[in-house]
Amino acid sequence: MGLDRRGFVKFVVGGVAGTLFTPVIWKGMDDAAKWSQNWGWIPRLPKGERKAVPALSKLCKSGCAVKVQTVGGAPFAALGNPDNPMSKGGVCPICAGSVQLMYSPARVAGPLKKVGEGKYSPIKWEEAEAMLVEKLTPLKGQDGKIAAISGDETGTANEVLSALLAGLGNASGYCAMPGEMLTATRGVKLMGGAGQPGFDIEGADFVLMIGADALDSWGASVANQKAFAASHPTGEAATARFVYAGPALNNTSGVCDQFVAVPPTATGVFALALANALISVGATCSAPDFADYKALAAKCTPEVFEKATGLKAEVLKDLAGKIKAAKAPLVIPGASFGQGSGALDFVAGASLNVLLGRVGQKGGMTLLPAAPKALSAAADRAEAKDAGSFMAQVATGKAAPAALIVYEANPAYALPQAGDMTKALGNIAFKVAFATYMDETASLADLVLPAPHPYERFDDAMNPYGVAKPTYLAGKPVLAKPVVDAKDPVDVLLAAAGKLGLSLGFETYADVIKAKAKAVGADMDTLTGGAAWTGEPKGGSLSLGAAALAKAPAPKADDKAVALAPLSKLACGTTELACPPADLLTIRDTELKGKDLFVQMNAATAKKLGVAEGNKIKLTGGSGEVKALVHVNEGVAAGTVAMLMGFGHSAWDQYTKGKGDNIFKILTVSDEAGTGMKVWAGSTVTVAKI
């Protein structure tokens, strides 16, 4: 039987009809739906036993005591450690996304050697370590030829760096990235004391933060937040009042009882005017320089205050009254972005604690004793040179190191007048960067040595800035092996030291930390098990620092320029770390939109500058310029423009590179009268519409 066209059509129709009586279509539809529920290109979930491993995450400045959640041995989340006083179960936004950072696309996967402008080729560790030794050998014993910049404020790695430099005859080359710790320690010295100051927020019933963003990015932020929480039990009356006096409404001020909008140029005036107001309501103290201080403060009359801050004098009076009425008031001085303010601003703020008799008291300002060292050859932390000043010397040729070791720091990005700093780095023949991520500095280095992520290494934290009592934390690796070909920088340095003929007494960082723990009087296993060691603050009194304050220059009036207030928000990253991928969501669309950063100012300032919401403007200051969009925000102090730091990265990964602009480019460095320090808080900028 031949099959004609009509017959074929019937056959096909019959086939289709028959198919409807089979499971083909129905099962096919069901399987297709199941396929759509389990697409092969969508990652599968890990399986296995779950554990919570205590660890120390030093991705944020102060370090978070966390419990890393693992499944089948692989970490997937970091939660707080309820047993550790620094965490009490809380965790900062950076460390909450810390595990994901192990797999950041910006991670340095293995040692890299620079082979051309911006070009790197991967090398073996043996070659890399040999190169390091080879480059340092000829410089041995020539003071000023080797320098190191550390971005780690708390680790004992600093002792190794310092001892190494000293051993190589380059003791003066040890520098630290700027931060509150350096400024405050200098300030304490000016007030006739010694040591790192601490602030007992937990014990205070009135906390005045002048600039210091203590509940978000300043100091041991999680511990600070926990102290705040303890005084504000949900559903019950608060037992402490918090006041924030700073350039803009920020996360800290979001929960404060009061916000006082003080332009960043007027921080010192504010503190002294407050002192004046306090003295006028009867505050007095036994400090030897009280009379001088009183005279100084008297110059900061309500009129001076009003002119400098744009606020009404009643604010001051009201504040003084509240402080006077408090049983345990505490003043925390600082910069809105955790650096760059001079020692004098610190003295002005801290002197209020002296004036109120709060030094060494419960809920007051404390002084921490110098921590015992693991390496006796190491310099004290406070003796480190300020990396900003050092790089400025390199720029002008006053310092001429031939080799620079960069440890967990990003000076090419995070020093004021960043443009100049990048150029200055070019003056140094050999730069080695110990970096976890390919940041701006690593991208300029001649040798990049991958450092492990905090969950892949031993590390410790001694006295994170702000803690009221001596505090020591240590952590051990969660993972047996780093996920990339990384080596502990300290291990590498110790090995290099050996090859350079220098014995520092240790072979690994773990041994160093063990020795440190022993020196402190703590048990290494207990510490790495998630506990913290705490000691007692030392006693001692302070002067009001009147002599130093007397040298402070009167604020200059500049009608063309506006004050620049850099703002720091932990979730946006730190000076060492670009915003983690898991934190990107937290950036508001009034802070960053696409690739444009917003600059915030109040309506009056906007009017004065002739700009409006959404305008694109150029800010010029320091040695550079920054482009941004205007966002009118009534929470910014008079005559001030505020801007988030942590943006404008030229390195890192697709999540951060090229987004926004780097505020460090337009910060102006100036010399502080009488202290010889470099300051850049209170920079001014000019604004032009583009």
Tell which positions 450-489 bind another protein, by CB under 8 A.
Answer: 483
> Hey, what are 145's tokens?
């030829």
Least CB distance from residue 275 to another protein, whole Å?
Answer: 21
Among 44, 119, 556, 560, binds another protein (CB under 8 A): 44
Q: In what order do the strands lie in the sheet with 459-462?
A: 459-462, 471-475, 533-534
**Which residue, 381 or 453, is less far from another protein as judged by CB?**
453
Least CB distance from residue 451 to another protein, whole Å?
Answer: 17
Among 154, 162, 196, 225, binds another protein (CB under 8 A): 225
Least CB distance from residue 445 to another protein, whole Å?
Answer: 23
User: What is the enclosing helix (H) or strand (E) of 129?
Assistant: helix 125-136
Give the type of residue at 654. Q
**Which residue, 256 or 359, is less far from another protein as judged by CB?**
256
Contact 157, 459 (CB under 8 A): yes
Name the one range near another protein by CB under 8 A: 6-14, 163-171, 429-437, 439-447: 6-14
Q: How many CA atoms lie within 13 A of 91 on its CB side?
A: 25
DSSP E strands in 50-145: the ranges are 50-57, 64-71, 74-80, 112-116, 119-122
Name the one range near another protein by CB under 8 A: 141-149, 215-223, 446-454, 470-478: 215-223
Among 40, 116, 118, 397, binds another protein (CB under 8 A): 40
Which among 551, 546, 549 has a CA at the least distance from the CA of 292?
A: 546
Q: Which residues pair with 573 in a beta bridge?
A: 578
> Hey, what are 493's tokens?
């340095």
Our finding on whether 449 is near another protein (CB under 8 A) is no
**Which residue, 8 or 400, is less far from another protein as judged by CB?**
8
Name the one range near another protein by CB under 8 A: 32-40, 157-165, 285-293, 541-549: 32-40
Least CB distance from residue 464 to another protein, whole Å?
Answer: 15
Neighbouring CB atoms inside 10 A of 541's CB total: 16
Give the type of residue at 214. A
> Hey, what are 303's tokens?
């009129």
**Which residues fall within 8 angstroms of residue 686, CB to CB, at 6 or more apart?**
560, 561, 562, 619, 620, 621
Among 10, 362, 481, 689, binds another protein (CB under 8 A): 10
Least CB distance from residue 597 to another protein, whole Å?
Answer: 10
Binding mask 227-256 for another protein (x = CB under 8 A): -xx--x-xx-------------x-xxxxx-
**Which residue, 37 or 286, is less far from another protein as judged by CB?**
37
Tell which positions 111-170 bind another protein, by CB under 8 A.
Answer: none
Tell which positions 303-322 bind another protein, by CB under 8 A.
Answer: 310-311, 315
Size, binding site for another protein by CB under 8 A = 116
Q: Which residues pair with 244 in a beta bridge?
A: 209, 259
Our finding on whether 554 is near another protein (CB under 8 A) is no
Task: Let me know how long the chain is.
Answer: 690
Least CB distance from residue 295 to another protein, whole Å?
Answer: 29
Least CB distance from residue 318 to another protein, whole Å?
Answer: 13
Among 2, 41, 118, 286, binds another protein (CB under 8 A): 41
Which residue blocks in 191-255 are alpha helix, DSSP H? 221-231
Tell which positions 570-589 bind another protein, by CB under 8 A.
Answer: 570-571, 580-589
Contact 534, 469 (CB under 8 A): yes
- The 3-state DSSP class for residue 435 equals strand
**Which residue, 96 or 148, is less far from another protein as judged by CB?**
96
Least CB distance from residue 233 to another protein, whole Å?
Answer: 9
Least CB distance from residue 72 to another protein, whole Å?
Answer: 8
User: What is the enclosing helix (H) or strand (E) of 422?
Assistant: helix 418-425
Contact 411, 390 (CB under 8 A): no
Contact 493, 113 (CB under 8 A): no
Our finding on whether 12 is near another protein (CB under 8 A) is yes
- State the Cα–Cα distance between residues 412 and 662, nearest whole angstrom: 11
What's CA 52's distance to the chain center, in Å? Answer: 26
**Which residues fall within 8 angstroms of residue 8, CB to CB, at 6 or more apart?**
none
Among 58, 61, 135, 226, binds another protein (CB under 8 A): 226
- C-alpha distances in Å from residue 170, one per residue of 135, 140, 164, 433: 15, 8, 8, 18
Tell which positions 598-657 bind another protein, by CB under 8 A.
Answer: 602-604, 633-638, 653-655
> Hey, what are 422's tokens?
């990048």
**Which residue, 156 or 224, is less far from another protein as judged by CB?**
224
Least CB distance from residue 520 to another protein, whole Å?
Answer: 26
Tell which positions 79-108 bind another protein, by CB under 8 A.
Answer: 79-80, 89-93, 96-97, 99-100, 102-105
User: If you search the block for the tokens 């290099």, which residue do you land on?
Assistant: 496
> Hey, what are 260's tokens?
């006082």
- State the Cα–Cα distance between residues 427 and 623, nearest whole angstrom: 18
Our finding on whether 77 is near another protein (CB under 8 A) is yes
Least CB distance from residue 615 to another protein, whole Å?
Answer: 18
**Which residue, 44 or 286, is less far from another protein as judged by CB?**
44
